[in-house]
Amino acid sequence: MTTLAPTLSTRYFPRAASWLRDVFLIVLGSLFVAALAQVEIPLLFTPVPITGQTFGVLLVGAALGSKRGAASLILYLAEGAIGLPFFAGGAHGLTVLTGATAGYLVGFIGAAYVTGWLAERGLERSVRTSFIPFLIGTVIIYACGVAWLTVLVGSFGEAVKLGLVPFIIGDIIKWIAAALALPAAWNLSK
């Protein structure tokens, strides 16, 4: 016979246990995105590389929810800003947060929040409906990324050509992969 007695920490300190779990998941989410940032394919015609970050951002947002997902991406940016080699290809520092990919990086926070918010309302429950939060999250990333790239290159059309068009097919593949990986990520976050 087994008993399901709560552990000492969850029985006497439920808020502390919940808080520690949240912190663990937030840190894990930031490390997951950092690891996927190292999957980088530089393109010769654009300053924006293909990376696994978008996949990570969408999955972290959907699995952790709005607040923890956004907190995870804020932590990720802070980790890279203070010098950890967490950005694409091991890049780090504040110069990355003002360079060509800065808009995308900032967009990650909003994308994780909105993807998580939509997932909290049940849109991540099936592979078919999970595409809605992933599409909206990707649109947020591109809106921020292309807007910043427009400032740097001086032309919206050029920014779209350099920072959006080459990535559409890859992002559709990332949506499919994220939708397939979501049940496992959801179970892990529980």
Identify whether the C-beta of residue 111 lies closer than 8 Å to the C-beta of residue 57: yes
For residue 124, tell me if it sits in a domain.
Answer: yes
How many domains are contained in the chain? 1
For residue 5, tell me if it sits in a domain.
Answer: no
Give the pTM: 0.86
For residue 53, tell me if it sits in a domain.
Answer: yes
Identify the CA nearest to 47 among candidates 171, 146, 172, 176.
146
For residue 3, tell me if it sits in a domain.
Answer: no
For residue 80, tell me if it sits in a domain.
Answer: yes
Q: What is the pLDDT of residues 72-125, one digit of tens each?
A: 999 999 999 999 999 999 999 999 999 999 999 999 999 999 999 998 998 767
pLDDT grade for 17, boundaries at 50, 70 and 90:
confident
Q: Is pLDDT above 90 for 161?
A: yes
Q: Is pLDDT above 80 for 130?
A: no
For residue 6, tell me if it sits in a domain.
Answer: no
Identify the CA nearest to 108 among candidates 136, 78, 70, 82.
70
Q: How confident is the prediction for the chain on average, in pLDDT?
A: 88
pLDDT of residue 3: 46
pLDDT of residue 1: 42
For residue 10, tell me if it sits in a domain.
Answer: no
Identify whether the C-beta of residue 34 lies closer than 8 Å to the C-beta of residue 76: yes
For residue 41, tell me if it sits in a domain.
Answer: yes
pLDDT of residue 14: 63
Identify whether the C-beta of residue 60 lies closer than 8 Å to the C-beta of residue 74: no
128 or 148, higher pLDDT: 148
What domain range includes position 147?
A: 20-189
CATH code where residue 151 lies: 1.10.1760.20
pLDDT of residue 48: 92
